[in-house]
Amino acid sequence: MGTKRPRSNVAAVAGGEQSHPLLFASQPAAGFPAPGDDLVEQPLDLNDLLVEHPTSTFFVRVSGDSMEGVGIFDRDILVVDRSIVPTDGKIVVAAVYGELVVKRLGKYDGKQALLSANDGYAPIVVAESDDVFVWGVVTGSVRFF
């Protein structure tokens, strides 16, 4: 009897022939209604929109609420670029003792730390001897409603 393989929360950028949704020239108003139109501006490929470095970019699905303060929510899909140098202030995906986390890279009490954007989570202070590795820098997100 076979076992069901769990669905991964990490995926590489897909290549090859794909259909492209259409981008409309009009911009819908988020406040008062604006006249719409049916003029198609150009095909829209989300890879073109979200991915600058295809060979070093991955998508990860968020689990949890530790980054809600910066607009990253449970089940969002993050665009992560491994070619960008992580610096203080950047939102990163890091491996902490083998577990992936999404945090802001920064300082806490003068020490390097991974910081949450939710007061319910303590900073992860990082020492040289810790098994912590910044896996990539978050460059965008996709959210489903």
Active-site annotation, residues: 66, 103
Count of CA atoms in the C-beta half-sphere (13 A) of 31: 0
Sign of CA dihedral 44, 49, 55, 57: negative
What lies within 8 Å, CB to CB, of 59 at 6+ separation is 10, 11, 12, 13, 77, 78, 79, 80, 142
Q: How far is CA 62 from its chain centroid?
A: 8
Q: How far apart are alpha carbons 10 and 38 in whole angstroms?
A: 36
Q: Give dist(CA 112, CA 88) in Å, integer.
A: 9
CA–CA dist 75, 141 (Å, integer): 10
